[in-house]
Structures are given as structure tokens and as C-alpha cells.
């Protein structure tokens, strides 16, 4: 199975800060990497697909990059509405494993 490792596990930043989350795959996965946001008590929501493509309706402050084994999710200017847990997921091969999540809070 492909293991997905996110860092950091949690972070606290101020409104307006630039925030970066990293996701590393144990094997190369090309660009088959997606990012999700999960607010408390809600279902996950797709933010970025295929490493760098912004899902329709998602604010442009979110962006993704990377390929192979290392990927990043960036929030260019953190907003209060961004408090959530963020997960990466690979779709290169089954099982479609997720990272362990990164909790984002406001300082």
C-alpha cells in the first residue's frame, strides 16, 4: 500500500498568513493527489484535484503543487473560515489512502 504522510500534524497561524501543508507519498504517484478540507461535523470537501487543479467553487487563495512523491497545499492568506482539518489522498492505486490530516487553527 502507498503510505501518505502529512506535515505538520497541526498548525496555528494568524489571519492573513500564508500557510503551507506538505504531503509525501511512500511511492511515486505522478499527479494523482487530491486535497480535501473537513470542517467540524461535516463531510470532507474537495479543494484541489490532480495536485494543482482548483475545484469549482473553491476560493483562489487555495493552491496545490507537486508531483511524484512530494506535494504541497498552500493557503495564500488565511481566513477564519479556513479553520478545518486538511487531508491529502492518492488515487494512483488502491487502496486510495489518505494522509493523517493537518489541523489548521487561528492564532
Partner 1 sequence: QVQLVQSGAEVKKPGASVKVSCKASGYTFTNYFIHWVRQAPGQGLEWMGVINPSGGSTTYAQKFQGRVSVTRDTSTTTVHMELNSLTSEDTAVYYCARDHIVSNSYGLDVWGQGTTVTVSS
In this structure, the chain runs to a length of 107
**Residue among 48 and 75 whose Cβ is closer to partner 1:** 48
Q: Which 8-state DSSP code applies to residue 98?
A: B
The verdict on 63 binding partner 1 (CB under 8 A) reads: no
The verdict on 87 binding partner 1 (CB under 8 A) reads: yes
The verdict on 62 binding partner 1 (CB under 8 A) reads: no
Task: Decide: 22 and 7 in contact? Cβ < 8 Å.
Answer: yes
The verdict on 45 binding partner 1 (CB under 8 A) reads: yes
The verdict on 32 binding partner 1 (CB under 8 A) reads: yes
The verdict on 29 binding partner 1 (CB under 8 A) reads: no
Task: Decide: 64 and 51 in contact? Cβ < 8 Å.
Answer: yes
Tell me the CB-side half-sphere exposure of residue 23, using CA atoms within 13 A. 32
Work out how close the CB of 16 gets to partner 1 at its nearest, in angstroms, rounded to a whole number.
28
Amino acid at each position: 500500500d502507498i503510505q501518505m504522510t502529512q506535515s505538520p500534524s497541526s498548525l496555528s497561524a494568524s489571519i492573513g498568513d500564508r500557510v503551507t501543508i506538505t504531503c509525501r507519498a511512500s511511492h511515486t504517484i505522478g499527479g494523482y493527489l487530491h486535497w480535501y478540507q473537513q470542517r467540524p461535523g461535516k463531510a470532507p470537501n474537495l479543494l484541489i484535484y490532480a495536485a494543482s487543479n482548483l475545484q469549482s467553487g473553491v476560493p483562489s487563495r487555495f493552491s496545490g503543487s507537486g508531483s511524484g512523491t512530494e506535494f504541497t497545499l498552500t493557503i495564500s492568506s488565511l481566513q477564519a473560515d479556513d479553520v478545518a482539518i486538511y487531508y491529502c489522498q492518492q488515487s494512483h492505486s488502491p487502496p486510495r489512502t489518505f494522509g493523517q490530516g493537518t489541523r489548521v487553527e487561528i492564532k
